[in-house]
Amino acid sequence: MSRILVAIDGSTGADRAVDYAARRAKREGADLLIVNVIGGYGLPDRTIRAFTRAQGTWLREELASLSAEMLNAARDRARKLGARAIRLESRTGEVVPTIIKFARDSGAETIVVGKRGAGRVSGLLLGSVSQKLVSLAPVPVTVVP
Protein backbone atom coordinates (compact mmCIF):
# COMPACT_ATOMS: atom_id res chain seq x y z
CA MET A 1 0.00 0.00 0.00
CA SER A 2 1.59 3.28 -1.02
CA ARG A 3 -1.21 5.89 -0.61
CA ILE A 4 -4.05 5.95 1.89
CA LEU A 5 -6.72 8.64 1.49
CA VAL A 6 -8.72 9.74 4.53
CA ALA A 7 -11.65 12.12 4.09
CA ILE A 8 -12.43 14.40 7.02
CA ASP A 9 -15.14 16.83 8.13
CA GLY A 10 -14.10 17.83 11.63
CA SER A 11 -16.36 15.30 13.37
CA THR A 12 -15.34 12.78 16.00
CA GLY A 13 -15.97 10.07 13.42
CA ALA A 14 -13.44 11.74 11.13
CA ASP A 15 -10.96 11.90 14.02
CA ARG A 16 -11.29 8.13 14.45
CA ALA A 17 -10.80 7.68 10.70
CA VAL A 18 -7.60 9.79 10.83
CA ASP A 19 -6.34 7.73 13.77
CA TYR A 20 -6.96 4.47 11.91
CA ALA A 21 -5.47 5.75 8.63
CA ALA A 22 -2.39 7.23 10.37
CA ARG A 23 -1.63 3.99 12.22
CA ARG A 24 -2.10 2.03 9.01
CA ALA A 25 0.12 4.45 7.04
CA LYS A 26 2.84 4.10 9.67
CA ARG A 27 2.58 0.30 9.72
CA GLU A 28 2.60 0.00 5.92
CA GLY A 29 5.04 2.83 5.18
CA ALA A 30 2.35 4.51 3.08
CA ASP A 31 1.76 8.15 2.25
CA LEU A 32 -1.28 9.62 3.98
CA LEU A 33 -3.53 11.91 1.96
CA ILE A 34 -6.01 13.92 4.02
CA VAL A 35 -8.84 15.59 2.11
CA ASN A 36 -11.61 17.91 3.21
CA VAL A 37 -14.40 18.71 0.77
CA ILE A 38 -16.01 22.13 0.97
CA GLY A 39 -19.46 21.79 -0.46
CA GLY A 40 -21.39 19.22 1.48
CA TYR A 41 -23.20 21.76 3.61
CA GLY A 42 -26.54 21.47 1.90
CA LEU A 43 -25.85 24.89 0.35
CA PRO A 44 -25.73 24.48 -3.42
CA ASP A 45 -23.65 26.92 -5.46
CA ARG A 46 -26.85 28.62 -6.64
CA THR A 47 -27.65 29.49 -3.02
CA ILE A 48 -24.22 31.01 -2.51
CA ARG A 49 -24.61 32.92 -5.79
CA ALA A 50 -27.84 34.42 -4.40
CA PHE A 51 -25.81 36.24 -1.75
CA THR A 52 -24.35 39.59 -2.57
CA ARG A 53 -20.84 39.43 -3.95
CA ALA A 54 -19.41 40.49 -0.58
CA GLN A 55 -21.47 37.91 1.33
CA GLY A 56 -20.52 35.14 -1.09
CA THR A 57 -16.84 36.06 -0.90
CA TRP A 58 -17.00 36.13 2.90
CA LEU A 59 -18.71 32.72 3.04
CA ARG A 60 -16.17 31.13 0.69
CA GLU A 61 -13.31 32.57 2.74
CA GLU A 62 -14.85 31.32 5.98
CA LEU A 63 -15.33 27.82 4.54
CA ALA A 64 -11.75 27.77 3.23
CA SER A 65 -10.45 28.87 6.63
CA LEU A 66 -12.51 26.19 8.40
CA SER A 67 -11.20 23.59 5.95
CA ALA A 68 -7.59 24.63 6.59
CA GLU A 69 -8.12 24.41 10.36
CA MET A 70 -9.58 20.91 10.07
CA LEU A 71 -6.78 19.75 7.78
CA ASN A 72 -4.05 21.12 10.03
CA ALA A 73 -5.61 19.51 13.11
CA ALA A 74 -5.88 16.18 11.26
CA ARG A 75 -2.24 16.43 10.14
CA ASP A 76 -1.10 17.09 13.71
CA ARG A 77 -3.16 14.15 14.94
CA ALA A 78 -1.70 11.86 12.25
CA ARG A 79 1.88 12.95 12.99
CA LYS A 80 1.43 12.13 16.68
CA LEU A 81 0.43 8.61 15.64
CA GLY A 82 3.53 8.19 13.48
CA ALA A 83 2.39 8.99 9.95
CA ARG A 84 5.28 10.63 8.13
CA ALA A 85 4.47 11.53 4.53
CA ILE A 86 1.26 13.55 4.82
CA ARG A 87 -0.40 15.59 2.08
CA LEU A 88 -3.32 17.92 2.81
CA GLU A 89 -5.93 18.81 0.23
CA SER A 90 -8.99 21.05 0.36
CA ARG A 91 -11.43 20.56 -2.50
CA THR A 92 -14.81 22.00 -3.40
CA GLY A 93 -17.84 20.28 -4.86
CA GLU A 94 -20.26 17.51 -4.12
CA VAL A 95 -18.66 15.35 -1.46
CA VAL A 96 -18.74 11.80 -2.87
CA PRO A 97 -17.78 12.56 -6.49
CA THR A 98 -15.05 14.92 -5.28
CA ILE A 99 -13.54 12.30 -2.97
CA ILE A 100 -13.66 9.69 -5.74
CA LYS A 101 -12.03 12.06 -8.25
CA PHE A 102 -9.29 12.95 -5.77
CA ALA A 103 -8.70 9.24 -5.07
CA ARG A 104 -8.26 8.60 -8.79
CA ASP A 105 -6.13 11.70 -9.42
CA SER A 106 -3.83 11.02 -6.47
CA GLY A 107 -3.40 7.30 -7.03
CA ALA A 108 -4.89 6.42 -3.64
CA GLU A 109 -5.18 2.69 -3.15
CA THR A 110 -7.79 2.88 -0.43
CA ILE A 111 -10.18 5.40 1.13
CA VAL A 112 -10.86 5.69 4.87
CA VAL A 113 -13.91 7.54 6.23
CA GLY A 114 -15.82 7.77 9.46
CA LYS A 115 -19.21 6.10 9.67
CA ARG A 116 -20.98 9.32 10.61
CA GLY A 117 -20.05 12.91 9.85
CA ALA A 118 -20.73 16.17 11.61
CA GLY A 119 -24.23 16.73 10.27
CA ARG A 120 -25.96 18.39 7.35
CA VAL A 121 -25.21 22.06 8.00
CA SER A 122 -21.99 21.94 10.02
CA GLY A 123 -20.44 18.85 8.48
CA LEU A 124 -18.97 17.85 5.17
CA LEU A 125 -19.37 14.10 5.26
CA LEU A 126 -22.84 12.77 5.95
CA GLY A 127 -23.51 9.26 7.21
CA SER A 128 -24.71 8.38 3.73
CA VAL A 129 -21.36 9.47 2.28
CA SER A 130 -19.67 6.37 3.67
CA GLN A 131 -22.39 4.18 2.15
CA LYS A 132 -22.10 5.89 -1.23
CA LEU A 133 -18.32 5.59 -1.22
CA VAL A 134 -18.53 1.87 -0.48
CA SER A 135 -20.80 1.48 -3.50
CA LEU A 136 -19.10 3.83 -5.96
CA ALA A 137 -15.39 4.11 -5.14
CA PRO A 138 -12.92 2.51 -7.54
CA VAL A 139 -10.74 1.37 -4.61
CA PRO A 140 -11.47 -0.41 -1.30
CA VAL A 141 -13.16 1.75 1.35
CA THR A 142 -12.71 1.31 5.09
CA VAL A 143 -15.52 2.73 7.20
CA VAL A 144 -14.38 3.41 10.76
CA PRO A 145 -17.13 3.21 13.39
Give the whole-angstrom CA distance, residue 21 versus residue 32: 7
Res 103: pLDDT: 98
3-state SS record for 34-97: EEEEECCCCCCHHHHHHCCHHHHHHHHHHHHHHHHHHHHHHHHHHHHCCCCCEEEEEEECCHHH
> Among 133, 113, 136, 111, which residue's Cα sits nearest to residue 123?
113
Summarize pLDDT for 73-100 with one digit per residue, the tens. 999 999 999 999 999 999 988 899 999 9
Res 38: pLDDT: 86
Res 41: pLDDT: 53
| Overall domain count for the chain | 1
Q: Which domain holds residue 24?
A: 3-144
CATH of the domain at 24: 3.40.50.620
Summarize pLDDT for 22-68 with one digit per residue, the tens. 999 999 999 999 999 986 555 555 666 677 777 767 777 888 999 99
Summarize pLDDT for 106-137 with one digit per residue, the tens. 999 999 999 876 554 434 444 588 999 999 99
Q: Read off the pLDDT band of 145 (50, 70, 90).
A: very high
Res 94: pLDDT: 87
In degrees and rounded to multiples of 5, residue 59 shows phi and psi of -60, -45
